[in-house]
Amino acid sequence: MLIQNRILTSMQTIIVIVAAYSCGFYFTEMFHEPTSFVGGLWAVISGIIVFEITAMDTLQSAKTRIIGTFTGALISGVYLILFPFSIIGYGIIPI
């Protein structure tokens, strides 16, 4: 039984990795082909981080990450509208 659970979890992880990489690669390729491999890599990292045991846990984890990403993008966007990019500002904003 334990081996079957490990095999099932491994197969699910493989599916998540392949699907995430494919989606990330092709989505990034539409905008900037040279970095499409990096887009796939980041999609895999996100997929592995979000992957949970139950579907409800996965949805909650994904929801939290989407809200966090949106919040960070919003703060960064407002900052860049108000101030020009600088290394000092780049260092201060995470604080």
DSSP notation for the chain: -HHHHHHHHHHHHHHHHHHHHHHHHHHHHHH-GGGHHHHHHHHHHHHHHH--SSHHHHHHHHHHHHHHHHHHHHHHHHHHHHS---HHHHHHTT-
- Residue 47 and residue 57 share a domain: no
Residue given tokens 């500002």 in the structure block: 89
- Residue 57 and residue 93 share a domain: yes
- Residue 44 and residue 5 share a domain: yes
pLDDT of amino acid 26: 94
Confidence class for position 93, pLDDT limits 50, 70, 90: low
pLDDT digits (tens, 9 = 90+) for 39-88: 999 899 888 888 877 778 888 888 888 898 899 889 888 888 888 888 87
- Residue 36 and residue 64 share a domain: no
- Residue 47 and residue 15 share a domain: yes
- Residue 44 and residue 30 share a domain: yes
Residue range(s) defining the domain that contains residue 18:
1-51
Distance CA 63, CA 20 (A): 16
Residue 53 amino acid letter: I
